[in-house]
A and B are shown apart, each in its own frame.
Chain A
Amino acid sequence: AQSVTQLDSHVSVSEGTPVLLRCNYSSSYSPSLFWYVQHPNKGLQLLLKYTSAATLVKGINGFEAEFKKSETSFHLTKPSAHMSDAAEYFCVVTQDGDTGRRALTFGSGTRLQVQP
């Protein structure tokens, strides 16, 4: 069975400083990995995805994530936080299940707070 662990439920940074949101996963097969962002009272929006191509994935709004198979990690980073980055972020893993359908597992989320 697959699982996703987001290591921090809450991260607070100052505007202009780097952002690091941590995600570890476990998976029996070669997974696809995603990061989604959810702004208050909104649906989820895809930030970036890894699907076994380049291990460093660039997404929207300056975010990027590196897939490290040896560490089973897929941490999300951004060099300089902006106030508009304040939101909840979800790490998601998907893989083929026993029935052949794609199973998706969401992490519990990390709330990013950006201080002025």
Chain B
Amino acid sequence: NAGVTQTPKFQVLKTGQSMTLQCAQDMNHNSMYWYRQDPGMGLRLIYYSASEGTTDKGEVPNGYNVSRLNKREFSLRLESAAPSQTSVYFCASSDASDEQFFGPGTRLTVL
């Protein structure tokens, strides 16, 4: 089992460009999450999906959109990237016990 995988690992964008971060899990989990991690701030929830076909805003959703394509995949889209979105992005999935399993992260720089 690969667990949670994320692509790409690194990305550099110019202000105004768009991109999609991909996430997939092979653990048959219902819930999936997108977080961003900034120095000194821990992880902050961007969006959450409790099950296929449902999504919910987290703490910092502005500037992002998500798609829960199927049970395995949960993508995060930046329509018009801004320097404030420079961060490390983590995808996670969880089972009924709330234990979350994290992907390796995507390091995004917006110039």
Interface residues, chain A, with chain B CB atoms under 8 Å away: 9, 32, 34, 36, 41-46, 49, 51, 90, 94, 99, 101-102, 104, 106-109
Contact = CB atoms under 8 A, between A and B. Distances in A.
B97 A43 contact: no
Interface class of chain B by DSSP = strand
Contacts of A90: 42-43
A45 B45 CA distance: 17
B50 A101 contact: yes
Contacts of B40: 9, 108-109
Contact of B44 (A41, A42, A106): A106
22 contacts: A34-B100, A36-B102, A43-B102, A43-B103, A44-B90, A44-B92, A44-B102, A46-B101, A49-B97, A49-B98, A90-B42, A90-B43, A94-B98, A99-B56, A102-B98, A104-B33, A104-B98, A106-B35, A106-B42, A107-B42, A108-B42, A109-B42
A104 B100 contact: yes
A90 B98 CA distance: 16
Interface class of chain A by DSSP = strand
A108 B97 contact: no
Interface string B25-55: 0000001010100001111110010100000
A42 B6 CA distance: 12
Contact of A108 (B33, B41, B45, B48): B41
A43 B105 contact: yes
